[in-house]
Amino acid sequence: MAGAEPAKKSDLGVRTASALVMLAIVCVALWFGGLVLDALVVVVALTLLFELIRLVLAIGMRPLATLAALVAGAVYIVLAAISLVIMPGLLVGLTLGFVILTDTGAYFAGRTFGGPKIAPAISPSKTWAGLFGGMAASALFGAVMLGFIAAAAGAMAPGHDGGTPWLAMVAGAAIGALLAIAAQLGDFLESWLKRRAGVKDSSGLIPGHGGVFDRVDGLLPVAIIMGMAAKLTEIV
């Protein structure tokens, strides 16, 4: 039909390619652990601080409000970075797994089912279907991983009867669902900053994903929660 606009191309291919590259980098860092993993965390944190400064300055608030936002944002990012550094490698992997599964479940559920928006004034693309999809995917990941860990630990215990660790699986599902909500709140926080700043992405560093902040916005609160849980477990 003459004058018809061409159909918008899906960015799934670009997003997938970028995600695979990022996943490969993370996997290598997790494999080597130690200083390599810490160095990756520091690089990501510094990049986040740079993008945060750009967003806050673009909002154009008064000097004191700008300073307060920068300090609060820096504390937020540094707490998440410290949490990842102090965690054992297995816990870092679980933290990343929860966030990745949340993002993946939310993306595909949102695109498949659509439906009512959660907060269109803050993030027009986020739907309730996406939230529940992210929660379901994260819950499944938590159930499988904690169930496997409990089964492996039980197999090494004397008198193990080989039963299925249902309690660990239920706990893992509950933890996964709650962490998915935390990840979505982190996503909304960054979306709110971008709306205030009048930009679509925190930067154009990652093809198909925007900036580093766009990619790890959900990781920050989850990392803080997991880090706090790890420290509390040590104390108890």
The pLDDT of residue 10 is 58
The residue ranking higher by pLDDT, 106 or 13, is 106
Cα-flanking dihedrals φ and ψ of residue 94, to 5°? -65, -40
The pLDDT of residue 2 is 44
Percent of the chain as helix, strand, coil, to the nearest 5 = 75, 0, 25
What tens digit of pLDDT does each residue of 202-216 get?
998 888 778 999 999
**pTM listed for this prediction:** 0.87
What tens digit of pLDDT does each residue of 28-63 get?
998 998 999 999 999 999 999 999 999 999 999 999
Q: Any idea where the domains of the chain sit in the sequence?
A: 15-235
Are 185 and 221 in contact, with CB atoms under 8 Å apart? yes
What tens digit of pLDDT does each residue of 76-108 get?
999 999 999 999 888 999 999 999 999 999 989
User: In terms of residues, how long is the chain?
Assistant: 236
Alpha helices in 63-119 (DSSP H): 63-86, 89-113
